[in-house]
Amino acid sequence: MELLSTNVSFDGEHRRYRHHSATLECDMEFAVYLPPSAVGRNPRKVPALYWLSGLTCTDQNFMQKAGAQKQAAKLGLALICPDTSPRGLNLPGEDDSYDFGSGAGFYINATQQPWAPHYRMYDYVVKELPQLVESELPVTEKRSVSGHSMGGHGALICALKNPGLYASVSAFAPIANPTECPWGQKAFKGYLGDDTRAWEEWDATLLIPTARERLPILIDQGTADEFLDSQLNPDALADACEKFHHHINLRMHRGYDHSYFFIASFIDEHLNHHAEALELR
């Protein structure tokens, strides 16, 4: 791991790292916030919240805009923020659109060429990155996961597909039913091919019926979100949860949009949700 930068924040440290990913076969950058208890003369290991960002984002958007560090410092919670895709591979079409390729890995494992060798963000987020962070930094094996939009979709599928790996899960304005929306259909067709049956294992709404663990799901969604009706469809997820008795707390907030102004307004409540599950409260 190569340390790229460090900033003191609420007596903790925000750090950016670069490393070579064997899973993605390229160099990747990610950000970490370590609370005061994990730095200094007598650092101790702390649990971590993995935050998965949305389309077009990098590791930096959440760390700079969400305002999560103050509450994370109080709670003794580390924040881990990966990038949203591999970068700079010079694959054909990699940078042609905002919702496919660079910045749009969708946290799945691609099976189609030329994406399959590199676009394996699911394995990177679930396996490689936690192993790296937990071996090199003062972070325990206790984890929670959250995210926004495409990253909210990522957080949900990571939790639903890996019973016992995460203590809790939450999301802001997730792409809740990607097999039924334009963003998801474009990405899944490109990364996974035309067989829609292969798409189903990457759709949170379709994973609810067979989920082997019933972690309570916390979702915040703005009513003024311009993507609510066309892309996000939280009602489909809520309906599936109700049908199969999977606890969900879907909170609709009047007037809020899809931006980081929305995330910053409610991030502390999400951090508290995860801190309780991680036994920090």
Q: Which residues are catalytic?
A: 149, 225, 258
Instruction: State the number of CA atoms in the 13 A half-sphere of 162 facing the CB.
Output: 20
Q: Within a 10 A sphere around the Cβ of 180, how many other Cβ atoms?
A: 16
Backbone angles phi, psi at 183, to 5 degrees: -60, -50
H/E stretch holding 28 reads: strand 26-34
Residue (of 194, 199, 153) closest to 172 by Cα position: 153
Q: Exposure of 120 by Cβ count < 10 A (0-12 exposed, 13-18 middle, 19+ buried)?
A: buried
Alpha helices in 8-149 (DSSP H): 60-65, 69-75, 121-123, 129-136
